[in-house]
Structure 1
Amino acid sequence: MANLGLLIARVLIAALFIGGAVQKTLSPQDAGALLEGFALPYWLVWPALLFNAVAGLALLAGVFVGPTAVALGIYCAVTSVFHFIPDDPWQMSIFVKNWAIAGGCFALAVAGAGDWRIRTRGAPDR
């Protein structure tokens, strides 16, 4: 059951980040406007898109899960700042969701990929 649980966790968290990459691909202006609202350059959409896609695919495949999950957890914690708008309940729910996802990522980093993953030379189990 542990391997099934870890696979489901990886797939669900990966889907969120792969979906984020697709969203940034189809509508980069949404993320770009959010960045510009915080006086950050629009072009940061592209490295965020790439990071979301690569990290999501790594989780899905179960390779480098430990470092990838830690990086995603930090990413969620940092990007939660964009949603800290106490007067907007919707944005506050996204803020809290980001912290919950960060927690899931850190738990996945500790638990590792499980046995149901693609095995590659040099890829750590966690």
Structure 2
Amino acid sequence: MTWAGPALVAARWLIAVLFAAGAVQKAVDPGAAGALLIGRGLPEGLVWPALAYNAAAALALVAGWRVVPVALSLAAYSGLTSLFHLVPDDPWQMSIFVKNWAIAGGCLSLAVAAARPAS
């Protein structure tokens, strides 16, 4: 057994935990995410589909179900949601902006690794 298989499972789980935590955060305090949406001129109610997507994507990664399309969609989601944090005068928001792009890169890497045949 090589390290690649277990590492890929660990990568799926670690990324899944991040998105599961995002779903829990939205459930516990929907107002915080709602404020970001309102601040960008979007309806606050979009918190709920985002919560459902975060939870479903996390479960899919844990289960190993359709990892490539799920990881690709998470990469796009991370890039898109980074725009909510593009506040150049706020170092905290800019760190979240950059973090989201790093997560997008991790999701792209996960998609590439999952697309390769097992060795």
TM-score normalised according to structure 2 size: 0.93
Show the counterpart of 1:62.
Answer: 64
Is 1:86 aligned to 2:111, yes or no? no
Show the counterpart of 1:11.
Answer: 13
Which SS does the other structure have where 1:24 is aligned?
helix
Aligned-pair CA distance for 1:114? 8.5
Which SS does the other structure have where 1:40 is aligned?
coil
CA distance in 2, matches of 1:113, 1:30: 36
Show the counterpart of 1:119.
Answer: none
Aligned-pair CA distance for 1:4? 1.2
Which deviates more, 105-114 or 46-55?
A: 105-114
Q: Which runs of 5+ in 2 are unaligned?
A: none
Structure 1 residues 74, 96: closer, same or farther in 2, change over 3 A?
same
Show the counterpart of 2:97.
Answer: 95
Moved over 6 A (4+): none
Structure 1 residues 71, 112: closer, same or farther in 2, change over 3 A?
same
Which residue, 71, 76, 79 being the options, matches 1:77? 79
Could you list the per-position Cα deviations for residues 7-26 of structure 1 after superposition, in whole angstroms to 9, with x for gaps in the alignment?
Answer: 11111100000000000011
Which one-letter code corresponds to 1:31 in the other structure?
A
Aligned-pair CA distance for 1:61? 1.0
Show the counterpart of 2:45.
Answer: 43
Aligned-pair CA distance for 1:50? 0.3
* Larger relative contact order (Cα-Cα within 8 Å, sequence gap ≥ 6): 1
CA distance in 1, matches of 2:49, 2:9: 27
CA distance in 2, matches of 1:63, 1:47: 20
The structure with more helix, counted as a fraction of residues: 2
Kept in 2, the 8 Å contact 1:84–1:91? The answer is yes
CA distance in 2, matches of 1:94, 1:22: 18
